[in-house]
Amino acid sequence: MDFATGLTYTLFCLLLTATLGFNSSLLTTLSLVAISLMQTAPLMMRRSKPWLATLIITLGHLLQLAFAGLVLPSQLSVPIMVYTMAVYGKRWQSFTTLGFGWIGALLATFSMFNSANSSYGFFSFDMMVSFVGLALVVTVSWTFGDLARNRRLTMKALQDHAARLENERIIERDLAAADERNHIAREMHDIVAHSLSVIITQADGARYAAVKDPSIAIDTLKTVSDTGRASLREMRRLLGVLRKDEEVANRPLPTLANIPDLVQNAETAGLDVRFGFEGSPRKELPAGAELTAYRSVQEALTNVVKHAGPNTTASVQLSWISRGLEISIEDNGRGAGSLTFDGQGYGLQGMSERVALYDGTCSASPRTGGGFTVSVFIPYSED
pLDDT at 105: 80
Confidence band for 318, pLDDT divided at 50, 70 and 90: very high
Confidence band for 245, pLDDT divided at 50, 70 and 90: very low
In a domain, 276, yes or no: yes
In a domain, 169, yes or no: no
The CATH number that applies at residue 269 is 3.30.565.10
Assess whether pLDDT exceeds 90 at residue 20: no
In a domain, 219, yes or no: no
Confidence band for 114, pLDDT divided at 50, 70 and 90: low
What is the extent of the structural domain holding 279?
Answer: 256-383
In a domain, 213, yes or no: no
Maximal CA-CA distance, the chain: 137
User: String of b and e for 340-362 (b: at least 16 CB within 10 Å)?
Assistant: eeeeeebbbbbbbbbbeebebeb
Query: Quick one: 331 exposed, middle or buried, by C-beta within 10 A (0-12, 13-18, 19+)?
Result: buried
pLDDT at 348: 76
In a domain, 378, yes or no: yes
Where a domain ends, among 146, 163, 180?
163
Task: Please indicate, yes or no, whether residues 155 and 266 belong to a single structural domain of this protein.
Answer: no
Q: Which amino acid appears at position 303 of this protein?
A: N
In a domain, 133, yes or no: yes
In a domain, 113, yes or no: yes
In a domain, 181, yes or no: no
Task: Please indicate, yes or no, whether residues 26 and 132 belong to a single structural domain of this protein.
Answer: yes
Main-chain phi, psi angles of 109, to 5 degrees: -65, -50
Where a domain ends, among 127, 146, 163?
163
- Residues 291-320 have a mean pLDDT of 86
Strands 324-331 and 372-379: antiparallel
- Residues 308-329 have a mean pLDDT of 88
Task: Please indicate, yes or no, whether residues 156 and 274 belong to a single structural domain of this protein.
Answer: no
Domain count, the chain: 2
What distance in Å separates the CA atoms of residue 337 and residue 357, rounded to the nearest whole number?
A: 29
pLDDT at 249: 45
Task: Please indicate, yes or no, whether residues 266 and 144 belong to a single structural domain of this protein.
Answer: no
Averaged pLDDT score across all residues of the chain: 79
351 in Cβ contact with 362 (< 8 Å) = yes
Three-state secondary-structure class, residue 316:
strand
pLDDT tens-place string over residues 154-210: 888 888 888 888 888 888 887 777 777 776 766 666 666 667 777 777 777 777 767
Angle of helix 50-64 relative to helix 77-88, nearest 10 degrees?
A: 150
Confidence band for 377, pLDDT divided at 50, 70 and 90: very high
Where a domain ends, among 163, 198, 224?
163
Task: Please indicate, yes or no, whether residues 15 and 128 belong to a single structural domain of this protein.
Answer: yes
If phi > 0 it is left, if psi is from -120 to 50 it is alpha, else beta; for residue 140 that is alpha
